[in-house]
Structure formats: structure tokens, C-alpha cells
Amino acid sequence: MINIKFPDGNVRQFAAGSTAMDIAASISEGLARNVLSATVNGTLTDRNLPITQDATIALHTWRDQQGKETFWHSTAHLMAEALEALYPGIKFGYGPAGENGFFYDVEPPEGQAISSDDFPKIEQKMLELAREKNDYVRQEVSKADALAYFTEKGDEYKVELLQDLEDGTITFYTQGGFTDLCRGPHIPNTGAIKAVKLMKVGGAFWRGNEENKQLTRISGISFPKAKELKEYLEMLEEAKKRDHRKLGKELELFMFSEKVGAGLPMWLPKGHQLRQRLANYLEKKQEAAGYQQVTTPHIGKKDLYVTSGHWAKYGEDSFQPIKTPREGEEFMLKPMNCPHHCEMYKFRPRSYRELPLRLAEFGTVYRYEQTGELHGLSRVRGFTQDDAHIFCTPEQVKGEFLAVVDIVQEVLGMIGFDDVTAQISLRDPETPDKYIGKEENWQIAEQSIIDACKEIDMKTVTAYGEAAFYGPKLDFMVRDALGRSWQLGTVQVDYNLPERFELEYIGPDNEPHRPVMIHRAPFGSMERFTSILIEHTAGKFPLWLAPEQYVLLPISEKFNDYCEELKTKLAAQDIRGLVDDRNETIGRKIRDNELKRIPFLLIVGEKEMEAGGVALRIQGEGDKGTMSLDNFISFFQEQL
RNA sequence: GCCGAUAUAGCUCAGUCUGGUAGAGCAGCUGAUUUGUAAUCAGCUGGUCGGCGGUUCGAAUCCGUCUAUCGGCUCCA
């Protein structure tokens, strides 16, 4: 017998050699039907792989991400099988599952190309093969046999992948007539794949290296039910409608100009108001939490960035130094605020009594992002970080960390994001030379984050290789109204800059000590945050953020003056809005202002003027009937 | 930065393949209308067809180049 421990901590005994499937069956028939794969002792495996020793196990179904990814990975193999049938001689590179579907990088036979026009016939072939209900069969093979197989087949990319693998760890998976080099796991049978949609075709370099040959990447998604595919496609339609680049233009929030330059957003009046309200709200929270607001210039001497280490790391790829009439003098547009804040720390000697010192700045920075990377407001070359640097003692790190997480949770909740995850971003253990700073400091920093995360009330995940080059981070991710996941701000522990800038404080022992620096930005940047907020809300911002909270709609010009009076009264209550006094029908005014996502439309005609009230119409909900102005004001204040 | 595509009125788009100097709807302006819960009617204005260069008797249309945008890739202090 072996002991199997479940995620909830329960331990049960099973016969040695039981599979995840057997274990699922012992829980319920439904689970046995739906289980797709399992994580056994931290490794994702097939559901029918015998377990011979005590283990911890998590069962995966279509409901969780690992289950989905197993399903999609298997679909990638199914697509490969279809492609091989349709394009004999096609060569295969990588074919993994991702967060949202799968792809396969392939090289079509000489002289042939695959375009989106070919998708229907590939999809059809895939479904045809799926209906054969072929099992995915796992097989352990020797390196020599594996090499022989793919050399014979002429799959040079697979042969290359095999070179890096060790004998004894190599497995093949076969379904129907298609065999692939694959670590697995896979779903048991192709029959589960009921709906398939190929989404995109594009280029991708073999192994992500632009020196290598470019392969054709075909990506798609699949589902166990046709209905789920339909819902997914509807979600994509909705996402298109909410695209912040489209809404930004329609709602007149921000713009770009070819003349000003790529990636340099300009906030129009309504966008500026929105951004300012977000910033003011955060600033108030920060002041309450002991932050002090500061302002620093947009440029700094090149030397500042030589000291910080950023020149060596990013100098070549940055906006190049600004020259002055003076020989040899060079300034850089600031790509981050930390060096300025470090100098501010050094303004005078610091005592341990004034730590933690929390310097906050809505600091605008400039980074020369690659041309192909620019994207609306979410990836730009000039942006404003909701930045702050906390200088503290090593003992204070954990407490400061927890306080930052508190602010982030409160602020994001207020703005309407309730599904927040914290990602612990650590070094990639395989590439230690990518990072600067002492090994010892890295270990302390990584450990403080891990320790702090044990105490926070937030979902956490760990990601290796996602750390910044100078320190580990905690990244905040939100799930939006369409279920998409976005990365927002970060908290980063930094032992490196205090070294480089030789920051010190005098401790209770009357000796100098080195402070720790924590970088943090809950939104990340105002630009990126706004882009996510626009897509999350589809432009229907929370009432307190809406640039205009109401529009008064006079039914005819006779009521314009009365509306102006109402506007004054509402302004006295800090309720902001406009009168739509255009010479248009009421139907037209309603339509135009509904499309502008105005939260409340106040319609005023004969009846309302006589009664001294308004007829309320709520955005997206329609007519709510007539009420007095005072009643509207109290209703408004309740909604706020 | 790399691969591929696109750029025509404020917006959304037709015209480009097959060269003969532009068209629609909406927006805007003017007038009529004075409106009761998602588009009132009529008239008018508006474009060196992204910039520069080339081919040609003639270029929105063909070629080159630059800029910007879009979809991927790589990247993201």
C-alpha cells in the first residue's frame, strides 16, 4: 500500500501501482470521467501512470489550468497529425500548450505555405481524426532509437531537440498514425476533443533565436464542448469591442501623433481627468500610509546611470544621451526614478529613527522600447509610474512588504478589480549571470519575499526567471471582466542600488549601516493601468472616476435655462456633468450620451420642470422614472 | 530590432489588381423643425490619397525609401 496525500492535506491509502485515474474513481465516478492529468510530487503526469511510492497528488480536470493545458497540448499533437496528413513531408519544431490554447511551430514542405485560408480544412481533418477516438500512447525509448526514428523521418528539428536530452528520460507519444517526441502528459483519448478553432498563423524563430530559421507558428484553441468554443469566440468579439485603443479614441481619452512620435501618448482632457483622479486617490492612500510625495526632474547626468548600473545594462538600447553646448556634458532622459530618489536620500545624514523613509513620486520616465513592441497605452516610450522607494532597515523589509500588499489590495478593490494574484518572481537558476549583485543579498531578498507571502491574504504563484536584473519581485496580476489576466504593478527588494549609491543610516549603535531599498508601483504605470481599466470596464468607469457623471437632456430648447440651474445645484454637491443643449430630438441625445457611457442621463421636459425634478435614465439600464433633484442627489451619493 | 500586412475626409470604409489627378455613410457647418427615452429633414463644407524620391505624356493606383499603425517573434530597468 502507498500513502497518497491530497491538496487539502488528507492522506489515504491505495494499492501500489494505482493510477491517478484509480484514485479519482475512488472519489467519484464523475471525477474519474473528467480527470485529464495529475500533478504527482510536483510533476505533471498522465492520469494512467502507475504510482509506486507515497506521493502528494493533485488531480486536474478541464476546470483548472493544468487540466486545460494537458488538453491543449494533446490538441497540438492532433493538429500535427492532421498537418502531416494534409502536408506530407512537413517538419515539426515545438508544439506546446499555453495559457490560452496551443501552437505548433512547423516548416511546411518546400514550396508550400500555410495561410489562414487553409484553417477550415485543417480543422476539419483534426475533428475527423478526433472522432477516431485514438488513445495517446506513452512509450519510453532509448536515445539511439529516438534519433533513428526522427532521422529516418527527416524531422531535423526533433533530432536537434533530442541531442540535448539524456538517455533514459525520452518518451514518445503516439495517437493514430502520429508519433511525437514529448514529455507529456496527455489526455487519454482524442475523442474528448470536440471543438477546434485555429486562430493565427505567423512566423516564429526556431528556439526563439532570430539567427535561426523562421518556422510557421499555427496557434489555436480547443474545447471538450462545442458550446464552450462558441462562448470563447463571443468573448473575443467582446474583447475587440473593448479594445482600449478603440475606446480611447471614441471616448476622447488619449491620442498619439505621428509627428510627436511613436509610443508617446497624449492625454486628452477627459483622459487626463480620469488619470488625475486615479493618481489623487492613490496619493491620498499613500499619505495615510506614511509616504511623502516628492518631485524630481525628467533628466539626469549620464554619470547617475553609470553609478546605478543602468547605463551598462541598457545604455545602448536607450534614448541616447542629450548633449549640451559644454564639451563632454551628457544628460539622459530618466528611464526610472530610483537614482534620483537615492540622491534625495543622501541629501543629509539619515538616522535609523527616520526609517522607513518612503519617497513617492508620479514620475514620468522614458524608455526606448523596440518598435514592434509598442501597443496603445499598454506599451509606450514615455509613461508615468506611480512610483515609490522605501528605504528601511533589513528588519523592516517584511513589514513594509506586507503594508504595500495591503495598499495594493485596497486600491485595486476600490477600482473594481477583485481577483488579484501575487506572483513571486525569482531568478532563473539556469542563468545566474543575467543578474547583478551579491549572491548573499539575492538569497536574503528572495527569502524575505517568500516569507512575507506566507502571511498575505492573496493567491500567490511562483515564477522562476521573472526577477528584475537587480532583485526579486512580487508582481500583481488581476483578472478582468472577460477572465483575462494582466500584470499590473510590482514590489521589488533591492540590496544593490543602496550599495552602488553608498546609502547609509546611523543605527542605534552610532555606526553607519546600509539600508534596504524597496521599489513599488501598485499600478505599474498610469498608462498601462488605464488601458486595463478601460478594457475591464468597457469604458463604463466607476462613478467616482467617470469624467462626466451625468448629462442633462432638455427635451426642447425651452428647458435649457432650467437645466443650467440644475447643473449649478449639482455642481454645488460636487456632482459633475453637462447640459446637452444641442437642437436635437430627445432620442438622439439619449443615443449619443449612452454611447459616451455617461452613467446618468437626466431628462427634463414640461413635467419635470413643473415638479422641480428630473427623469433619471441609467446607462445601459434605461428609464428609471421621475424624481426630485434632492432624491437624485441622495441616490447619486449612495451609488458613489 | 526581425517576419508579414496596412496607411484614401475628423471617424468607418469603397476606388489600387487592369495608371487617365477621388466617392459613400457618419461627424461638422447652415437652415427648417421644438421634439418625451438609442439616429428629424434638407442643403453645404471638407481630401497636395502618410512623407520624400523614381518610372511614365500622365501615379491614390507601378517601383524605392522613410514614418506610423496592425498581427506575430524577440524584448520589457
Nucleotide with C1' nearest the A217 CA: B72
Active site residue A519: yes
Residue A12's H or E segment, with its range, is: strand A11-14
**Could you tell me the distance in Å between the CA of residue A82 and the C1' of nucleotide B8?**
42
Would you call A389 a catalytic residue per the annotation? Answer: yes
Q: What is the pLDDT of residue A274?
A: 97
Angle at A304 between CA A301 and CA A305, to 5 degrees: 105
A385 is catalytic: yes
| Nucleic strand B near CB of residue A52 (< 7 Å) | no
CB A143 within 8 A of CB A55: no
A428 touches strand B (CB under 7 A): no
According to DSSP, the residues that pair with A178 across neighbouring strands are A175
Residue A159: Cβ-neighbour burial (10 angstroms; 0-12, 13-18, 19+): middle
Q: With a 7 Å cutoff on the CB, does A438 touch strand B?
A: no
CA of A258 to C1' of B67 (A): 7
Return the residue matching grid coordinates 432620442: A587
Q: For residue A598, count CB atoms less than 10 angstroms from its CB and return exposed for 0-12, middle for 13-18, buried for 19 or more.
A: buried
Residues 250-279 of A with CB under 7 A from strand B: 256, 258, 261-263
Cα–Cα distance, A395 to A616 (Å, whole number): 56
Asked if A204 CB < 7 A from strand B, the reply is yes
* Rg over CA atoms, chain A: 30
- Interface residues 281-300 of A with strand B (CB < 7 Å): none
Distance in angstroms (rounded) separating the CA atoms of residues A361 and A364: 9
What ranges make up the beta strands (E) of A408-484?
A: 420-426, 459-464, 473-479
Residue A171: enclosing H or E segment and its boundaries? Answer: strand A171-175
Q: How large is the angle between the packed helices A397-415 and A269-288, nearest 10 degrees?
A: 140
Select which of A105, A386, A387, A475 is catalytic.
A387
A164 annotated active-site? no
Do the beta carbons of residue A454 and residue A414 sit within 8 Å? no
Q: How far is the CA of A200 from the C1' of B77 (A)?
A: 32
Q: Are the CB atoms for A475 and A425 separated by under 8 Å?
A: yes
Q: Is A476 exposed, middle or buried (0-12, 13-18, 19+ CB in 10 A)?
A: buried
Nearest CA to A206 out of A162, A160, A240, A169 is that of A160
How far separated are the first and last CA of chain A, in Å rounded?
Answer: 61
CA of A374 to C1' of B65 (A): 23
Nucleotides of strand B within 7 Å of the protein's CB atoms: 1-4, 11-12, 32-40, 67-77
Closest CA to A310 of A489, A494, A474: A494
Strand B lies under 7 A from the Cβ of residue A376: yes
CA-to-CA distance for A351 and A355, rounded, in angstroms?
Answer: 7
Give the bridge partners for A105, in sequence order: A217
Closest nucleotide to the alpha carbon of A592, via C1' = B38
Q: Is A367 a catalytic residue?
A: yes
Sequence-distant contacts of A82-89: CB under 8 A, at least 24 apart:
A82/A122, A82/A125, A82/A126, A82/A128, A82/A129, A83/A114, A83/A122, A83/A218, A84/A177, A84/A178, A85/A125, A85/A129, A85/A177, A86/A118, A86/A121, A86/A122, A86/A125, A87/A112, A87/A114, A89/A154
Cβ of residue A605 lies below 7 Å from strand B? yes
d(CA A435, CA A530): 31
Q: What percent of chain A has pLDDT over 90?
A: 66
CB of A208 nearer than 7 A to strand B: yes
Determine the distance between A432 (CA) and B53 (C1') in angstroms: 51
DSSP A350: -
**Residue length, chain A?**
640
Q: The C-alpha cell of A607 is what?
A: 413635467
A267/B12 CA-to-C1' distance in Å: 23
Judged by C1' against the alpha carbon of A385, the nearest nucleotide is B77
Cβ-contact A516, A566 below 8 angstroms: no
Q: Which three cell numbers stand for residue A565?
A: 440651474
Å between CA of A205 and C1' of B74: 9
Q: Is the distance between the Cβ of A595 and the closest atom of strand B smaller than 7 Å? A: yes
Can you tell me the distance from the alpha carbon of A591 to that of A582, in angstroms, rounded to the nearest whole number?
Answer: 13
CB A363 within 8 A of CB A387: yes
Please tell me whether any atom of strand B lies within 7 Å of the Cβ of A318.
Answer: yes
Check whether residue A484 has its CB closer than 7 Å to nucleic acid strand B: no
User: Quick check: is A473 catalytic?
Assistant: yes
Q: Quickly give A261 CA vs B51 C1' distance in Å.
A: 14
Q: Is the CB of A626 under 7 A from strand B?
A: yes
Å: A204 CA to B1 C1': 14
Q: Which nucleotide is nearest to A249 (CA to C1')?
A: B11
Neighbours of A231 (CB within 10 A): 12
Nearest to A106 by CA among A12, A208, A203, A176: A203
Q: Considering only the C-alpha atoms of chain A, give the largest distance between any 2 of them, rounded to a whole number of Å.
A: 93
Q: Which residues of chain A have pLDDT under 70?
A: none
* Amino acid identity, position A319: F
Identify the three-state secondary structure at position A625. Answer: strand
**Which ranges in A243-320 belong to alpha helices (H)?**
244-250, 269-288, 302-308, 310-314
Instruction: Find the catalytic residue in A217, A244, A367, A589.
Output: A367
* Contact flag, residue A601 CB and nucleic strand B, below 7 A: yes
pLDDT in tens, A382-440: 999 999 999 999 889 889 999 999 999 999 999 999 899 999 999 887 777 778 878 88
Interface predicted TM-score of the whole assembly (ipTM), two decimals = 0.95
| Burial class of residue A370 in the structure, from the number of CB atoms within 10 Å of its CB (0-12 exposed, 13-18 middle, 19+ buried) | exposed
